[in-house]
Structure 1
């Protein structure tokens, strides 16, 4: 079996998980990691992981199946950074959906759902670990069950959409308490989307580190 992983961002934290998984793939499965869709030349399975390019039907036709991992219970939560928006909103877990890539985006048939409980104290890197480990497990599931899966069409009702996350979405209100804004603070990646606030004419960046009580 020939498998391609298309991940556009070489700096994305998911890359470390992908690399570790690729080193453990069993014999008979060839896996390649590419950054641009022009490099995805064809094969059996194409995984679109944190892919920022628009992959057309013609691109996908080079593979027997093209799959997306999306962190919401589709059709609810289509769009960008769904697990971040859900956790900011107070969710205590996220559903990871393994779906076929389709037009429009995030509308394809579902191969599998996997629910991930997220502790209310978990910080961004701990949340990433839960999510990315689940993504790797679903990729392995897809390879193992490739010929047995019967995808389920998404419901025609109940869809919702999240907009693309921007750096300004990590801005805190200095007049609110830490407790009121904790769910926003804890999902802010200090490298990619740092939490910050403006006060007394200056911008301040806030980092959060968890410590267990002694």
Structure 2
């Protein structure tokens, strides 16, 4: 079986998980990892879209038996950008990862499987990433094993919600609010790509937090 993984950002922290999965399954499947739609030049069985920022048109999708999206929300709620980050910011104690068919209308495809991820409320960005990316790898493996028997189900009718794309400015900390009020913001900020920051007296400062155990 030929499997293609499309991840738009080579520096995205999920990329190392995809590389590890490829190495672990090289004897089971023919696997390629690409970062651009233009790099897809031959047909295959499954195309996975993971943290993909490009629109994958039907002409590309038709090159594969299945084109699947990994989307970190409880669809049809939370369509759009960075859903798990918005969910943590809103105080949710559970994330949902949905594996769906890719369609022209973003995040509307039939659902293959959902996986729920419990949070304690103390996880920092890298721990949240670990939980999420491990779940993504589990769903990728599950899809490859069950591709010939799965029966996707349409998303539920009714109310939907959409998240906008986050920008670096969304990582700004308000100096007039308490740490407790903004802890969820501090814990989701990636210190390498989108660090938390604040401005005071005409100067911008970065903020980093890490867990501290005196023992």
Q: Same fold (TM over 0.5)?
A: yes
Aligned to 2:166: 165
Deviations 1:116-152 (A, max 9, x none): 0122110000100000000000000000000010000
**Which SS does the other structure have where 2:112 is aligned?**
strand
- Structure 1 stretches of 5 or more lacking a match? none
Aligned to 1:10: 10
Aligned to 2:197: 196
Aligned to 1:50: 51
Residue 213 of structure 1 and its aligned partner are, at CA, apart by 4.5
Report matched runs for 1:79-158 at 5 Å: 79-158=80-159
Aligned to 2:34: 34
* TM-score in terms of structure 2 length: 0.97
Q: Quick one: distance in 1 between partners of 2:185 and 2:99?
A: 26
Deviations 1:63-98 (A, max 9, x none): 000000000000000000000000001011100000
Q: Quick one: distance in 1 between partners of 2:46 and 2:213?
A: 42
* TM-score in terms of structure 1 length: 0.98
1:181 matched to 2:185:
no
| CA root-mean-square deviation | 0.9
- Structure 2 stretches of 5 or more lacking a match? none
**Which SS does the other structure have where 1:86 is aligned?**
helix
Residue 23 of structure 1 and its aligned partner are, at CA, apart by 1.0
**Which SS does the other structure have where 2:105 is aligned?**
coil
Q: Quick one: distance in 1 between partners of 2:54 and 2:117?
A: 27
1:62 matched to 2:59:
no
Q: Quick one: distance in 1 between partners of 2:51 and 2:28?
A: 26
Deviations 1:192-211 (A, max 9, x none): 11000111221111001112
Give the length in aligned residue pairs.
Answer: 214
Q: Quick one: distance in 2 between partners of 1:95 and 1:213?
A: 34
Q: Quick one: distance in 1 between partners of 2:31 and 2:112?
A: 20
Structure 1 pair 20–28 and aligned structure 2 pair: CA distance change class (3 A): closer
36-45 or 76-85, which deviates more:
36-45
